[in-house]
Structure 1
């Protein structure tokens, strides 16, 4: 019996090691691949933007004189290059984390494999003592009872099966270790490749930064010309602001007058119907029979339609407005919406952050609001919209369905197009030519003209968004290209 207990002890040890081995299996993570793919897509998108900016820079550099347009392109390329480097740094950080985790898993797997091999060696040593068939038979026939004989026979079978399972676990652990080491090698190769890419991008960044500094220095020597250009731009912006404000006020006043006349006509129609009902009631009270009090529905409908036509054609309805009414229209601050324009306005507002860009390609060379001049010190530039620099001859598109409210020319802004979307307005300035006319209905992404190119070779469109008389930031309305 003591010999039986001693021989059963390796089995308990093996079972404990099996539980430990199962508990020490490395955790598998499935979220890394998605983040890597997303970072790779962002990197490729940034490289595409850099390529487009390079094309636009080559167009502006056809002019020998350094211009702000060239500086804007260089600045955009610097921004995109920094984003590429930031993306590489993020990937490197993720790879370093994965390498550390994989290294820990390799160490743990090597420890587990060592334990499994030691336990398997003990199993083989114990099994070697009973490898002789005679010893096995002596062990069985030395049983004191049939029950003990059955238990010993089961023990021999279980011991053999456990030895086989232990060998299978060793093979599986060796395979997992091989996979982990292979993955670790691939991650280290990827890390080395990214480090080389980061080094090259940093060199390119320094080259672009030097080029930007050189351009700024050259432009600083043209301070007088830049100040004159800035003053001309301010005057052009003021003319555009005045035009937009005037058109918006006119539309608000027109909508207020239309709403007032519509309300007056509705009141006239209601009064005519009330008078007709009162006359019918008096006739019925004057002794008319029951047959005369009943009215034909078709006759009633025709009479109401006649009342509406009479109210519409009434000269008093179209009479010149009084000074008080005109003043009230001018004091209105919001466009009075009809059901149709209210739906259009709601649809435009619901697409905030998803509106298509007015050009298919390009970048924002000057952002919305007040910001320092890129060259002149202590000079602030204010922008009512965004300047989108693009290629020469690029088509300009409407960003949403609407009605062309204004098409005109402004000195310094070339041709402008103003489109109304309910109580919202979008403005497209610096156009060379237009394909639409005032009062025309347009749809989203419909081409309304082409962008103009200035004397320095810079092609850009000025894009603005207004809500009634409030100027909005277009960047919060435009979607991703």
Structure 2
């Protein structure tokens, strides 16, 4: 009876060890990671970092431009435009900082969740290990292990019990190793959580400083507007002079476009007329051969074909007298198509700067109930900044207009780009230019404002340059 009871207890012990081993093998400590979510977070953070670098570059450029306009004691529209741009960039900085805070908050919450899961896993592993230790105490000496093995009813059961004993020893070792690794992971996560909370504190402090800077800039802007408002008479005079300069520039552009349309039409008409004359001569010669008594059927067919070609050539020559657009040759048609294909990706005419006045009609920044119209965009930049061709083309004209200083007009097939307010010009009329080739330097006025007037035209149609330019 006693032997049977001991055998039964050892059988229960074997079952307990087997269940513990099964629980250990099937358990998965820790929380499974989600690679797809991690990849998305990393990618978005990378985009945020690129935006931050771009914003810092814009801050440096705008600060440099603002410093040049502030060298003059008197407030100016250039200074006001630079302040507005710096405020816009500063708002982007604050927005970027807010996004960074959101990511840090998300990381902190995720890390806190992972810490809780890891702590739960550690408690569970310790409990399982305690059970293994308790089971070990039941077979702590060699005699109990031998009795457990020889209590088997068959050889196969003996082999299974032997396997249990071996796996049990290995399980204890592995369980101890898992507990050690889990403790190390938990320590790393707790350290990372502390660092992220410190990072959050730093970013919050940075955001507070950025908001203070924004408030200071807005106060400066209000002061400049107030000072400029006291110069209403001078501003109205400058506006009238600018409008007169714009009219002169518009007239120059319209004249040169008309001249180019007429010139291209004359060249195309001359080519078409020469082709028509050659076709007519060929048709007459074919007709004379066809009228001979000995003319063959092939000669009569050729005569009819040459007559049709001569009539078509005459129609083409007559159709080349259009006056609403540039008549394109195969070469200029390809250039024009290439220019059009780069819509929204064209090079900026200056490497540094910002758009201080956009295309179209806008309220005057200071004068009330006054609207200004811009045929292109004004790009405010640094003093002496090189101006470059935005695309391959031919210099159509170089001129000088009061208020616009030097003007360069480049033709790209049926498209034209205009660069005004240049201090110096390094190209000449009829010269072929390549993209990025310098064509001059920007002009700086008496108020310290360096500004380029840039326009885009298609034949006689004025286009919005901002939609054609790519991102800097």
Considering the TM-score relative to the shorter chain, is it more than 0.5? yes
SS of the aligned residue for 1:31 comes to: helix
Quick check: 1:419 aligned with 2:410? yes
| 5+ residue gaps, structure 2 | 1-6, 300-316
Partner of residue 313, structure 2: none
Query: Which residue of 17, 23, 26 corresponds with 1:19?
Result: 26
**How do residues 187-266 of structure 1 correspond to structure 2 at under 5 angstroms?**
187-266=196-275
Partner of residue 4, structure 2: none
SS of the aligned residue for 1:416 comes to: strand
TM-score, with normalisation over the residues of structure 2?
A: 0.88
How far the C-alpha of 1:205 sits from its partner, in A, is: 0.9
How far the C-alpha of 1:2 sits from its partner, in A, is: 4.3
Quick check: 1:163 aligned with 2:172? yes
Quick check: 1:87 aligned with 2:96? yes
How far the C-alpha of 1:263 sits from its partner, in A, is: 1.9
Partner of residue 460, structure 2: 469
CA spacing shift, 1:199–1:284, aligned 2, 3 Å: farther
Quick check: 1:451 aligned with 2:458? no
Question: CA separation in 2, counterparts of 1:59 and 1:84?
Answer: 23
Quick check: 1:111 aligned with 2:120? yes
How far the C-alpha of 1:233 sits from its partner, in A, is: 1.2
Question: CA separation in 2, counterparts of 1:377 and 1:279?
Answer: 80
CA spacing shift, 1:175–1:30, aligned 2, 3 Å: farther
Question: CA separation in 2, counterparts of 1:164 and 1:112?
Answer: 17
Quick check: 1:9 aligned with 2:16? yes
Partner of residue 131, structure 2: 122
Question: CA separation in 2, counterparts of 1:284 and 1:157?
Answer: 119
Quick check: 1:364 aligned with 2:338? no
Question: CA separation in 2, counterparts of 1:401 and 1:26?
Answer: 52
Question: CA separation in 2, counterparts of 1:220 and 1:45?
Answer: 34
Question: CA separation in 1, counterparts of 2:66 and 2:41?
Answer: 37
Q: Which moved more, 1:332-341 or 1:248-257?
A: 248-257
Question: CA separation in 1, counterparts of 2:131 and 2:58?
Answer: 65
Question: CA separation in 1, counterparts of 2:236 and 2:295?
Answer: 88
SS of the aligned residue for 1:285 comes to: coil
Structure 1 contact 342–422 (Cα < 8 Å) conserved: yes
Query: Which residue of 135, 142, 145 corresponds with 2:151?
Result: 142
Quick check: 1:74 aligned with 2:83? yes
Question: CA separation in 2, counterparts of 1:12 and 1:377?
Answer: 86
Partner of residue 331, structure 2: 340
| 5+ residue gaps, structure 1 | 288-292, 294-320
How far the C-alpha of 1:220 sits from its partner, in A, is: 0.9
How far the C-alpha of 1:149 sits from its partner, in A, is: 1.9
CA spacing shift, 1:279–1:84, aligned 2, 3 Å: same
SS of the aligned residue for 1:357 comes to: coil
Structure 1 contact 14–119 (Cα < 8 Å) conserved: no
How far the C-alpha of 1:286 sits from its partner, in A, is: 6.9
How far the C-alpha of 1:92 sits from its partner, in A, is: 0.8
Partner of residue 393, structure 2: 402
Question: CA separation in 2, counterparts of 1:399 and 1:36?
Answer: 33
Partner of residue 57, structure 2: 48
Alignment RMSD (CA, Å): 2.5
How far the C-alpha of 1:159 sits from its partner, in A, is: 1.7
Partner of residue 460, structure 1: 451
Structure 1 contact 26–105 (Cα < 8 Å) conserved: no
TM-score, with normalisation over the residues of structure 1?
A: 0.87
Matched residue count: 447
SS of the aligned residue for 1:374 comes to: coil
Question: CA separation in 2, counterparts of 1:68 and 1:74?
Answer: 10
**How do residues 435-446 of structure 1 correspond to structure 2 at under 5 angstroms?**
435-446=426-437
